[in-house]
Each structure stands twice: as C-alpha cells, then as structure tokens.
Structure 1
Amino acid sequence: MNNLLKWIFVLFVMQNSFSQTTIKGFVSDKITNNPISNVYVFISELNKGVTTDESGNYAVILKAKGNIQLQFSHVGYESFVKQVPVNSQFNEIQLDVQLENQVIEINKIVVSNSFINEQKNNTFKVDIADSKDIQKVGGFTIMDVINKIPGIDATTTGTLISRPVIRGLSSNRVLTVIDGVRFETQQWDDEHGIGVNENGVERIEVIKGPESLLFGPEAMGGVINFVKSKPAAVGTTKGSYFSSMSSNNLGWRALANVDGAKEKYNWGVSALGKLYSDYFINNQSFRTPNTRLLEYGLKTYIGTDRKWGSTNISYNYNQAFFGILDGKDISFGPNGELINTDVNEKEKYPFEIEAPFHAVVDHRLTSTSTFLTGKSKFDVIVGYQNNHRAENEELAGVKKGYKYVDMTLQTVTYNVKWYAPKWNNFSTIIGSQGMFQNNKNNNGTATILIPDAAVNDLGFFAVSKFDYKNFNFTVGTRYDSRQLDTENTSSVNYAIPAISKSYENVSSSVGLAYTIANSLTLRTSLAKGYRSPNLNELTTNGYKLESRRFEVGNANFEKEYNNQFDFNATYVTSSVTIEGSYFFNSICNYIFIAPTGNLVPNNTNPSELVSEYKYYQTNAELTGGEARLDIHPKTVKWFRFETKYAILEGKRTDNDSFLPMMSPTKLTNTIYFNFNDFRKFSKTSFNVSVPYTFAQNKIEENELKTKGYSLLNFGLFTTYKKTEITLTANNVLDKEYVNHMSRFRQFGISEPGLNIAIGVRIPLDIK
C-alpha cells in the first residue's frame, strides 16, 4: 500500500512538472535589432502579463492549454498581437518578436471589436483615447478627452456634467460599457452625465454607429467602451500617484493606485478624489453659480489564473455631488451683461455643496471569467449595479434643501461568448446577453419623474470574421427582446398610468477592409441597430424643476431603428497619416423633444403657467464625416502637425427641417514640438492648439443659433527622473463664447475663461 501511494505521488509530481508550458522569446527593434526592455507582454485569456528584461528577454509560465493571445506593447513602438496554440505536446515555445518604432502609435490593439487584434485588421474603425490624456488636454473629466475625437461631441451642463454625442446621437442611443458590462444609470435626461470617471480605466475605445453586435441593444449611435487597466507584471508590485490643480475654478483632482501580481494571482486597488468650485468667465469677473463638484471613489479587484483559464472579480464604489445651475441666480444688466444674484455666497471660490444639487452613488460588482476548452474558449461576465440618484432643491434656511428626487436603479447583467474553433480563415463568436433591471422611487414625498418599473432584456448574437492576407470580412447578426412594465404612479397633481410594452428586433452588420501595399486601408460597412423608448419618453407628464418646463411623453411610441453606411480610408506611412470617413445614417421613428409654443399650468404650482414641451417621433437622416491629417516626419522627430475636421447635418424627412442639438462643424489644428533630453528632463514636448468651431445655423425651428469661435491652447509635458509633469493653458486669450451643445445656452452663459492647470504623476516603486 505504501509503495502504491509513493507511485501515485511520483506520477502526480511528474504530471504537474510536465503539464506547464513556458513561452519565452526575445523582443527587438525591427530596424536596429537592438533589444527592447520593459515591453509588456499580456495574455488576455489569463489576464496576466510579464515584461522583458534589460536584454529584451521574456518568459511566461502557463498551465492552461488552448489558443493563447500574446499582446506586445511599448511606448514608441507599434503594438503586436500573436496567437499561439498551447497544448501538451510542447513544454517550451520560442516566440521572438520585432517591434516597429513609431513616432505616434497608429496600429493600436483594440478590444471593442469582435476579435482582439491590431487596428489595421479591423473591418470598422475604432477610435482610442488614453485616460491619462485628461491632464495633457487640461481637462476636468474623462469626457474632455473623448470629445477630442473627430465626430464625438458632448452635451454639457457646465464643465463637469457631460454626456457623449456620437455623430449627432446621444442619450440611450449611445451605449456605455465599463469592465465589459453595459453601464446602466439614469441616462434619460440631458442633465445627467455619463456617470463614469477615469478610476481604474486604461483607455477609452469608441465605435461610431451600430457596427458592433457584442454589447447589446441601444448601441445604434455607437459604443463608448472604458477598458480597465491591465494588471502588474508577474513578480512585481507597482503604483502611482497623480494630482492636478486648475486655476479657473481652483479645483484639484487626485488619483492613486497600487497593483501587484504573483504567478497565479493579481490584485489592485485605486482611489480617486475631485473637488472643483464654480467656474469663471470674463477675466474671473463672473462666477457661474453652483457649477461645483465633489466626487470620490474606490475600485479594487483580485484575479487568478488556473489550468482551466482565469477569473477576475472587481468592485467599484463612487459618490458624486453635482451643483445645479437652474437660472434663478442669473440676471442681465442694462447692457446685457450677466449678473450673479447669489448674494448669500460670500466666498469667491465656494466649495460647499448646497441645494440645488445632484447626489449620485454607484456600486458595481463585476465577475469576468475565461474558460479554455482546447481550440475554443468561453468568456463569461456577470455584473450587478446599484445606482442611487437624488436631487435636492432649495428650501429657505436649509443649506441642503429638501429631497426633490430619490430613485434607485438596480441592474443585473450577464454576457456569455463562445469563441468557436477557427475553421480555415474563419473565426466565429456566438453568445447571449441579458439584463434584469428594477427602478424604484424611494421617498414617498419626493417628486416622481419616471415611474417604478421593471425591464428585462434577452439577446443572442453571432459574428464571424474572415481573414486572408490583406483582406478582412466580418458579418454578424443579433436578436433582442425587451419587456418593460411600469406601475401605477401618483405624484403632485398628476398620475402616470401603468403600461406594459414588448419590443423585438433583429440587428445585423456587414463590414470589409482591404489594405493596399501595407499603406492604404479601405473600410466600408453597413449596419442596422435599434433601441426601445426609455421611461422618460414613454411616461413623463409633469414639470421638470431643473429644466423649468412641463414635459409630456407618449406611451404609444414605437422602437427606433437605423441603417448606417460608413466608408473609411486610412493612409499610413512612417511620416504621414491621412484618414477620411463618410457616413449616412437613416433613422426610423426618431424620438425628440420640442416646445409646443403653449403655456400650461405647472402641476407643482397650478397658479403658474409654464412652457410645454412634448416628445415627438418621426423619421430622420444624419450625414457627415471626419478627416484627420497627421504629419510626423521620420527624419524630423522634433516636429509634428495634426489637423482634425468633423462635419454633421441632421434632418427630419417629413418636412426637411433640421434636428435639434446637432454638433456644429469643427476644425482643430495642433503643432507639437519635441525636445532632446536635457540633464534629468526627458520626453519633453510642447504643443500649440487652435480649435475652431463654426457657427451653427442649421437648427430646429425654436432653437437658438450660436456664433463661431476659435480658441488658443498651450500644453507642456516633460518627465523629471521618473516623475511626469504637465502644464496646460486653455482659452489663453480668455475669450467669451457659447457652446452650442451646452444646456447653459438658454441662459446666455459662456464657457470657462482662461484656465491654467498643472499635473504631476509620481510612480511608486514598491518592492
């Protein structure tokens, strides 16, 4: 018996010693063949990474078997993806890689496409923004980076509340994804921001239009995908601390993180804090009342990889208090000048949150797992979200006022994808998604803007991609159904009857790309998407205190659906990049809100007459395009010039009139100067940017026109030893201008004046 146990033990040890596989190799420069150190080698299936040593060598130990994707990335070099089959036949796999040096990285790895690959192999274009660029553009929030992408704009309520607009479409037509889960918050009103910050986010990937079928319904306008930060390299613990200050609103922003990884485990924790006072215009002479923000949050995760694959669990907590400018503290002088009538506020830079304000609390728990099954794999993501939104309004003698709105939105989502075994040149994904959502009004005395409701979604999809040399072809389809049920709701002087609605839709997408001589890539796609009307559009029937208008919905609205044609051409050489896109988007049953011209009794104060606004439904067409030219001479590395252009037109097809809140035409020119290393300063660059926004005269009948304007912005970036330092100056000439996409336009309030910001990022070397 003892001998038998000994043999079993020996066999167990032998099996474990030979079951693991080591992938190792040498990473070098494609031109010089010199080794490249600190290249991050990431295995997406295992959520695990290693770095190359000073000699350019790397080694990663795997116990899992299957098709493994290795992603190689390093600043200043083009990223590279390689799939490696790992099975029991090999204990050691040699994979040497040569990376191509680039002044700017064009061929980035994207994950928002159906398949993780390099940009050049995508059948539709995915735009990428780095979350760290917030300080480089002198921004306050992550939206200040996203809206620098041509074709992307933002509907704003001051500087700190903004929501994305993709080629003229916003609200529930744009799907927000974070940590692989569709982010569900109260996005039905313009006064509600996107609800996501940069904590734990590496970059943002943007898809324009309904091309992607992987993320679910309500992506007819596009997808904003917040990609989480990668874990630390195996055997290391790393961290960083970032802090910035801005002069205009005397605000500060801080972000700190620590991440660690062992052979089988990785973990991380990060925290964020923001505090901004009201912003100023006209040489700091006018404080825009109650445009302040207090926000803080925490994110933590832990992950492991095993023979079967990997799993990761993350938790995110965030609390934000947004001040509300409702117009009551604004008046106009005899010469039309703005006057702040908030006489009770004595401080020049007030930070205390006082009514009226939004209070938003988010809890997110996400589980992400990958199961390797030989030549195929399964991705399973399950998420729970709890979003609590409250709004406090003014009450005499009470700083915090009274609770005007009090709602809790709970959402459970799942997303299952099966990556089928590759057949010849075909790769296929088959999957299912679902959502179970409940909206609840908590406080019996609060105003009910939307009723208690339950929403259940179910979807199935399949996407297949064909790759052959320089040709790529993608085709896919998905089926979605939604069941929406509301309860009978009574509020102040009005009632909302219960409704029960069912929506179904089949979406599809076809795209192809062809690369000529490794320089010119032509892409074209035809895609169809949809969304169901949201609760606000279906049920609203009362006075909105912040909007100061009586809004009326329509329970008989049909689903929206669209067909978009897109063409993109990208020409890339070592010294120049030229890109152009054209799109045509036909939308059926487009829902929009517009004034009726009538005055109706305010249901909260029947003696007062207020403007009536109604939601309408019609067909619409959106056309436009984007262009970008980037000149970065390979022989003149100290110079770079970039120009970006975007144009858009939105019309109703029933009467050929213009749609409201369409982004104006924009042109931005930026010159970059890069400097040689000087003593302990390195990677120093200086840029001058001149964004020009054209006048917007193509407006809806009752909409206000806006004048064109140009701004002057400066930016300086350098690294002292290992500390990154950023200095920016936006609106250097302190110009007064009105943003067409701002909800403050109705008050005649300009955007922020001169703002100087400094940011410092310090790496934390933790042994």
Structure 2
Amino acid sequence: MKSKILIVLLLAVTPFIYAQYQFSGTITNAETGEPVVSATIYLPQLEKGTLTDFNGNFSISNISEGTYKLVISSVGYSSFSREIQLPSEGVIIVIQPSAIEMEEVIVSTPFHQLQSENVMKVDRENVSELNRKGAITLADGISQMPGVESITTGIGIGKPVIRGLSSNRVLVYTQGVRLENQQYGDEHGLGISSKGIGSVEVIKGPASLLYGSDAIGGVLYLNPERYAQANTTNAEVDGSYFSNTLGYQASAMAKTSGDNLKFLARGSYAAHSDYETGDGTKVTNTRFNETDFKGGFGYQDSRYKADLRYNFNRANIGIPEEIGIQNTEKEPLLPYQEIDNHIVSLDNRLYLPNSSLDLNIGYQFNNRKEFEEEHAHEHEEEHEDHEDHEHEEEHEEHEEGHEEAHPALEMHLESLNYNLKYNLPKTGNFETILGVQGMHQTNSNFGEEILIPDAEMVDFGVFGTAHFHLENWDFQGGLRYDNRTINSESYGHEGEESFIAAVDRSFNSINGAIGAKYQYQSKFIVRLNLASGFRAPNLAELTSNGSHHGANRYEVGNANLDNEQNLQVDLSLEWRNEHFEAFANAFHNSVNDYIFLNPSGEFIEDDLVFNYTQGDATLYGGEIGFHIHPHPLDWLHLESSFETVTGKLNNGGYLPLIPANSITNTFRVEFESDQQLSNKYAFVRLKNVFDQNTVSTFETRTGGYGLLGAGLGGELEFGASSSVEINISGNNLLNKDYISHLSRLKPDGISNIGRNILVSLLWNI
C-alpha cells in the first residue's frame, strides 16, 4: 500500500513548459575592479547556481521570468544578497573584500536566507571543516559547534545534545526528511556517515512550528553534498587514518551534471579497533565498522526540479560492558549491534508564476539487530579447555558466535514521510508559506526479546508562517496544529512480569512562534524569538517493560504520560566589523511534563529498575564568543567561545546528562596561496571543561579537564582540474586521562579516548 501511495505521489508531479531565459553577468572586486574568480552565484528559490570563470563571468540558463533572490559568496569577500528581475543579462556586480567568513544560505529555515538575514539564529558548519579538526564520526564532529554536545558510548555511538536536550527531543533531518532509526535508545547512535554530507545546520530551540513533534529541543539539519555544476564532471577519492584506534576510512565519489540532468554516487567504508584511554587501557568492544552508500539523481528545467536521493548505511557496533580483551581486532565482540538503514527521498519543486509548490516524500527502513552471548552459543559445539591458551580460545569463541548467532533482538521500523509546502506569491514585503506534513510508521519485532511492542504511529500537522521585511527590521511568525496517534499490540500474558498492555493514545498540540530582528547598518544585529514546542511520548516511554542490555537497566514505561510542552525565549546579539566579531546568545526554556527515567531502587534480573515519570523542568544558559582577525594581519584568527546550560526540575533536583560548562580557544593562521600549494592553514585549540557539580540524584559529579588539539594542512594543485588536499590534526595531544560527564561509560569508571592523530588525503579529479 505504501509503495502504491509513493508511486501515485511521484507521478502526480510533472513538469510544465514555460519560456526559458538566461541570466549572465560579471563579478568584480569593489576595491581593485579585478574579476572575482570562482565566486558562487546562487538563486535559492530555484536552487540553481554556478561559478565565475577566470574573467569573473557567469551564466545560468533555463530560468523563467520572475523576481528572484540572488546570493553571491566567495572566500575573502562579504556575501552579497539582493533581489533581481529576470530576464536580465550582462549585469555587473561588485563585492567587498572581507576577512569575515563568507555566509551561506540557510536551508533549515523556511525562507532560505543568509544567516545575517534570518530572524531565527542558526549555526552552520561545513562537514569538511569539522573533519579537519579531527572528528572521528559525524556525532563527534557536531560536538565542536557551540551549544552542541554528544552523549557517547565509546566512540562509535553518539547522540546529539542541544542545550541540554537530547534523544527524541532533538530532531535530525537528512535528505530533507526526518531521520527515524529507533532514536529513543541511549545506545542508539546517529546512524549517518559524515561522508556525503555537505554541511550541518543547528537550530537551538523549539522548532515544532516547522517540524512538528520531537523538535522541542532543536533540529540538526544535514545537507547532502551538492551535485556538480552544470556541464561538468568531478570525482574524488579520500582516505583517513586514526592513530588511537588504528582505524581507517576510505571514500570514493563521482558526479556529473548536464543542463538538466544530474547524477552523484559515493561509497564509503570505515573500521576502528577499541579505543585507548589516556592511561593506555583499551576499552574492550568499543570497536565498530561502517559501510555507507549514497546516490542521487536530479532533474531541473525552468519550471520543475526533482532530486531523488538514496542512502544505505550498515553499522556493526560493539556494546562495551567491562574492560577485558586487549587486542587490535576490528570485528565487534558479543554483545554487538548490526544496523541497516535505508533512506529514499524525492524532493519535487514546481515553479509557478511568482510562487512555488514543494512536495518532499521519504521512505525509511531501519533494521536493528542486537546479538547477545547467550543466544550466540545456543548451537555451538563443545571445545576442550586449554588453560595455556585461554585468551585465544575466548577470542575464537566470540568469532564462532558471530557465524552462528541469532539476534536476541530484531526490530524493523518503516516510516513514510510527506511534506507539502506552498510558497505564496510575495505581497509587498510579505512572504508566506502554508504547509502540510505527516508520517506513517510501523514497528515490528522478529527477535526472541521484546523491548517495545509491535505498533503503528500516524502523524499529521498543518502550519502557516510569514516573514515581513523592512529596511532595518524583520518579523517572522506562525502557527501550527499537530495530531499523533499511537496504537500498539499487547505482548505476553496479563499477570506475568513481562506483560506489556496494548496502548491506544492520541496526542494533540497547537504551537506558535514569533520573532524579530533589528539590524543597524551591517554591524549590529539583535534577534528576539519566542517559540513553543511539544513532544508526544515515544513508544519506549509508553510501553517499555524489560531489560535494556545496552543501557544496563530494566525500564518500565508509563502508558499515561502526557505531551511535553515547552516555551523558550531566545535573545541573540551580534557585532561585526572588518576585523572583529562578537556574539552573545541567551535562552530560557520552560518544559512542562518533562519525561525522565527515575530509579526505583528495585532490581529485576540483576538490573536496576528505572520508571518513566514526569515533572516540570527549566533549562537556561547560552553561549558567548568573539573572533579577532586584525588588519593588516588578516591571515591571523583568534577565536574564543564559552557555553553554559543548567537544567533543573521545578520540584527540586537537577536533570541528568546536562553538559558541563566549557570554554574553547582557537588560534588559527591562513597562509597566502602560491603556484603549487593553496588553502594553507594551521591551528592550535584548547578546550577547557569545568567541573560538573550540578547533577541528578543518580549521577555523580565529574571533574573538569583540558584538551589540547592542533592541525595543519593545504592543497597541492596539479593543473586546472586536479588537486590533493592534505590534512593532519591531533586531539588530546597531551594524552589526558579524563571522563566526560556525557559518557555512558562513566558509571563504570571508564575514561574517554586518549591522544589521537588523524592523517587524511583527498584527491580531487
């Protein structure tokens, strides 16, 4: 049935034939009058762009008549934005040189503007920059952004934390659809490879107006890498080596584009051994491997655009329990997870006169298997014991278990998403968007153990949002209504300890947001936003009744839980000139009926029992920082940022898993390019994490620590179309033995990763 619905929706959107025009011109330096080479010319509404040639010239074809926003960006220049009327040819645009980092168009907000034009503050980072800083995984990389951390189980499992909120309170979007991969579990990681992701955008605060339930804490928006420019073909091969885990990652990509058709394909593989702490101990079974494939097929003419994307990700991740075997193998031991995730998305856009209609459809299939020792050895043959080879036999036993293992837990999660938006014709200074979103989801069990029962969930939401622009002021607001129904089957027999009753619940919520931005010249920006959000209880919170082996606890759900409902106020201040930038962000987040796990003091099957309960909570804090790049030393950069968050229950006590306060200082230099080596850089970074003494009743305090990192790199040019990027970086260079407050291995006294050196090469063809 789902397949038929998908086919009907795909066939319903067909291209229309309109007159087509060409937009061309020249980009020059405002100070010297020289042409600007390789500047990016982009029309956000059409999602079309190109690069200037050696003479600063550009041309974009197949554009229909109308008014469009034009965005021009180039390294070393201020980003340029203005509206243009097409058809138009031979325009000359001058842009100002600047040491300030160039801006990009923000995709996660509804009107696709530059960050300086947005009413809502959004942080954006290129994944390539995160990798340069030594990120092992995507979850590790995003924790380098202010206000964003990660709850970790070793290095292979990481869950994003935005201003103290995580799990189902942070919504992850990839390929334009919400990521659904049983994310309720503490030991369920992000499940997305950084390879093939172009950039990351973070909305820090409730975004239920745009995304519905689960965006109560914010949104992590992953933009896929872009297709090649029109009539070009590109390819790249890259590899990375990680010294701490003796790990490696390899990836190959090819993409080509014509006037209308585009194609992209990328394959990646990564494998890591157990990581080593600062005192030289290998943390047993933190090893993992990951296979990833991403593909894309696009079509665009003057009135219709389609982008079909597919991502397959398979991860085999060990679940650490205690320090044991010390070796460098990369195949996970028991217990371990095997996770297959398929994501198919189709983004359709129909361009109407001065308006557009967007239809995004997504289908996901998540197959999560967990293997445990008792199940793996059910059919094993007995072997003779040899005390002299005890450790070798233990390793062989695990390997044989892999061959004959049957999953103790196997869950299939299928999700069908749709998102229909109508961008109304612009009226004066008003822009308006109306939308309908929804999801149909089923969970099915096939293993011997049941964590959550078979269930069906249906989401439906309708919203409207508008933007009003004046010379110095911008206003944005909107309203949304959502409904979520959850129906689950019963499991077991009533009266048994493991019995799970059937659930039939419906959750409704109306939410709104309003914000204002004031800009004085181009130097000072003030943003004030007020937004409400909601989160319906997830299936685990409503129905759990069993041992959660990955989390080492017995969880008991509560079928009577209510919506979480929050109200957050954000204040953002920014100041920038040619040589100095500073920002200060503050927030206050009130959450009614906050759902959390509370230990009962009882034990079942040697696991401590945790019950899901609710209580009102408050979170507050913010980020502050600056960036200095003094003239005439524009190659020198000094950056500093401080972040803090406090989370408390209103009836007393602190919330669990709240990040400790931290300050990060980075000294960075960028050298001038020569004939063979370009984009040269070097940096030194010191992150100081303070003591975390404000902890929940079942947590212990965590001591502070400092981590030193550094890196350098550059790009070797080989002709006009080939180059090799070389990057070397190191984290925890002093090999500090420390424990993060957000590490799930902390209760066992297991330290985080020690010194790690990353060496990477990327060959652009």
Q: TM-score, normalised by structure 2?
A: 0.91
User: Would you say the 8 A contact 1:133–1:145 is kept in 2?
Assistant: no
| Cα-to-partner distance string for 1:166-195 (whole Å, 9 max, x where unaligned) | 111111111101111111111011100112
Q: Which residue of 2 aligns with 1:127?
A: 123
**Amino acid aligned to 1:481:** N
User: Would you say the 8 A contact 2:473–2:517 is kept in 1?
Assistant: yes
Partner-residue secondary structure (3-state), 1:41: strand
Q: Which residue of 1 aligns with 2:365?
A: 386
For 1:109-148, what aligned pairs fall within 5 Å after superposition? 109-148=105-144
Cα distance in structure 2, aligned partners of 1:489 and 1:67: 58
| Cα distance, 1:82–1:269 mapped onto 2, change above 3 Å | farther
Deviation at 1:17, TM superposition (A): 13
Q: Which residue of 2 aligns with 1:642?
A: 639
Cα distance in structure 1, aligned partners of 2:471 and 2:107: 21
Which of 360, 363, 369 aligns to 2:339? It is 360
**Amino acid aligned to 1:297:** D
User: Would you say the 8 A contact 1:173–1:218 is kept in 2?
Assistant: yes
**Amino acid aligned to 1:725:** I
Cα distance in structure 1, aligned partners of 2:18 and 2:185: 59
Deviation at 1:111, TM superposition (A): 1.3
User: Would you say the 8 A contact 2:19–2:65 is kept in 1?
Assistant: no
| Cα-to-partner distance string for 1:628-686 (whole Å, 9 max, x where unaligned) | 111011311231100010011111112x2111111110101111123344562222221
User: Would you say the 8 A contact 2:278–2:738 is kept in 1?
Assistant: no
Q: Which residue of 1 aligns with 2:166?
A: 170
Cα distance in structure 1, aligned partners of 2:77 and 2:108: 21
Cα distance in structure 2, aligned partners of 1:434 and 1:679: 53
User: Would you say the 8 A contact 1:123–1:474 is kept in 2?
Assistant: yes
Q: Which residue of 2 aligns with 1:617?
A: 614
| Cα distance, 1:54–1:47 mapped onto 2, change above 3 Å | same
User: Would you say the 8 A contact 1:293–1:321 is kept in 2?
Assistant: yes
Q: Which residue of 2 aligns with 1:542?
A: 546
| Cα distance, 1:81–1:215 mapped onto 2, change above 3 Å | farther
Cα distance in structure 2, aligned partners of 1:521 and 1:660: 34
Q: Which residue of 2 aligns with 1:199?
A: 195
Q: Which residue of 1 aligns with 2:285?
A: 290
Q: Which residue of 1 aligns with 2:751?
A: 750
Deviation at 1:45, TM superposition (A): 4.4
Cα distance in structure 1, aligned partners of 2:433 and 2:507: 25
Cα distance in structure 2, aligned partners of 1:314 and 1:677: 36
**Amino acid aligned to 2:761:** V
User: Would you say the 8 A contact 1:64–1:306 is kept in 2?
Assistant: no
For 1:387-466, what aligned pairs fall within 5 Å after superposition? 387-394=366-373, 395-396=376-377, 397=397, 398-400=400-402, 401-443=405-447, 446-466=448-468
| Cα-to-partner distance string for 1:132-183 (whole Å, 9 max, x where unaligned) | 1233111111122211111111111111210111111111111101111111
Partner-residue secondary structure (3-state), 2:123: strand
Partner-residue secondary structure (3-state), 2:746: helix
Higher alpha-carbon deviation: 425-434 or 297-306: 297-306
| Cα-to-partner distance string for 1:455-475 (whole Å, 9 max, x where unaligned) | 000000100001111211001
For 1:520-669, what aligned pairs fall within 5 Å after superposition? 520-599=524-603, 601-602=604-605, 609-654=606-651, 656-669=652-665
Partner-residue secondary structure (3-state), 2:745: helix
**Amino acid aligned to 2:108:** S
Deviation at 1:493, TM superposition (A): 5.6
Cα distance in structure 2, aligned partners of 1:712 and 1:105: 24
Cα distance in structure 1, aligned partners of 2:70 and 2:520: 26
Q: Which residue of 2 aligns with 1:190?
A: 186
Partner-residue secondary structure (3-state), 1:287: coil
Q: Which residue of 2 aligns with 1:723?
A: 724
Which of 351, 355, 363 aligns to 2:330? It is 351
| Cα-to-partner distance string for 1:555-602 (whole Å, 9 max, x where unaligned) | 000000100000000001111110001100000000011212223x32
Q: Which residue of 1 aligns with 2:26?
A: 26
User: Would you say the 8 A contact 2:18–2:64 is kept in 1?
Assistant: no
**Amino acid aligned to 2:591:** I
Cα distance in structure 1, aligned partners of 2:690 and 2:18: 66
Higher alpha-carbon deviation: 660-669 or 632-641: 632-641
Q: Which residue of 2 aligns with 1:41?
A: 41
Cα distance in structure 2, aligned partners of 1:737 and 1:664: 14
Deviation at 1:712, TM superposition (A): 1.0
| Cα distance, 1:520–1:557 mapped onto 2, change above 3 Å | same
| Cα distance, 1:112–1:669 mapped onto 2, change above 3 Å | same
Q: Which residue of 2 aligns with 1:606?
A: none
Q: Which residue of 2 aligns with 1:239?
A: 235
User: Would you say the 8 A contact 1:136–1:715 is kept in 2?
Assistant: yes
Cα distance in structure 2, aligned partners of 1:582 and 1:19: 49
**Amino acid aligned to 1:262:** G
Which of 676, 680, 684 aligns to 1:680? It is 676
Q: Which residue of 2 aligns with 1:227?
A: 223
**Amino acid aligned to 2:290:** E
Higher alpha-carbon deviation: 420-429 or 39-48: 39-48
Cα distance in structure 2, aligned partners of 1:358 and 1:483: 29
**Amino acid aligned to 1:21:** Y
| Cα distance, 1:17–1:308 mapped onto 2, change above 3 Å | closer
Higher alpha-carbon deviation: 710-719 or 395-404: 395-404
| Cα-to-partner distance string for 1:99-155 (whole Å, 9 max, x where unaligned) | 333334253321111211111111111001111123311111112221111111111
Deviation at 1:279, TM superposition (A): 0.5
User: Would you say the 8 A contact 2:45–2:112 is kept in 1?
Assistant: no
Cα distance in structure 1, aligned partners of 2:609 and 2:151: 22
User: Would you say the 8 A contact 2:702–2:740 is kept in 1?
Assistant: yes
Higher alpha-carbon deviation: 476-485 or 227-236: 227-236
Higher alpha-carbon deviation: 666-675 or 348-357: 348-357
Deviation at 1:66, TM superposition (A): 4.1
User: Would you say the 8 A contact 1:237–1:261 is kept in 2?
Assistant: yes
Higher alpha-carbon deviation: 573-582 or 195-204: 195-204
Partner-residue secondary structure (3-state), 1:280: coil
Higher alpha-carbon deviation: 98-107 or 136-145: 98-107
| Cα-to-partner distance string for 1:610-635 (whole Å, 9 max, x where unaligned) | 31111110000001010111101131
Cα distance in structure 1, aligned partners of 2:316 and 2:67: 46
Cα distance in structure 2, aligned partners of 1:282 and 1:624: 31
For 1:693-708, what aligned pairs fall within 5 Å after superposition? 693-708=689-704
Higher alpha-carbon deviation: 38-47 or 126-135: 38-47
Cα distance in structure 1, aligned partners of 2:296 and 2:551: 39
Deviation at 1:18, TM superposition (A): 10
Partner-residue secondary structure (3-state), 2:419: strand
| Cα distance, 1:405–1:66 mapped onto 2, change above 3 Å | farther
Deviation at 1:214, TM superposition (A): 2.0
Deviation at 1:211, TM superposition (A): 4.2
User: Would you say the 8 A contact 2:498–2:546 is kept in 1?
Assistant: yes
**Amino acid aligned to 1:635:** P
Runs (5+) with no aligned partner, structure 1: 1-15, 331-340, 603-608
**Amino acid aligned to 1:651:** K
Q: Which residue of 1 aligns with 2:315?
A: 320
Q: Which residue of 2 aligns with 1:265?
A: 261
User: Would you say the 8 A contact 1:365–1:385 is kept in 2?
Assistant: yes
Partner-residue secondary structure (3-state), 1:537: helix
User: Would you say the 8 A contact 1:67–1:376 is kept in 2?
Assistant: no
Q: TM-score, normalised by structure 1?
A: 0.91
User: Would you say the 8 A contact 2:206–2:568 is kept in 1?
Assistant: yes
Higher alpha-carbon deviation: 143-152 or 172-181: 143-152
**Amino acid aligned to 2:470:** Y
Cα distance in structure 2, aligned partners of 1:108 and 1:203: 10
User: Would you say the 8 A contact 1:45–1:310 is kept in 2?
Assistant: no
Identity %: 33
Deviation at 1:441, TM superposition (A): 0.5
Deviation at 1:44, TM superposition (A): 3.9
Cα distance in structure 2, aligned partners of 1:673 and 1:137: 14
Q: Which residue of 2 aligns with 1:4?
A: none
Deviation at 1:532, TM superposition (A): 0.3
User: Would you say the 8 A contact 2:18–2:302 is kept in 1?
Assistant: no
**Amino acid aligned to 1:559:** N
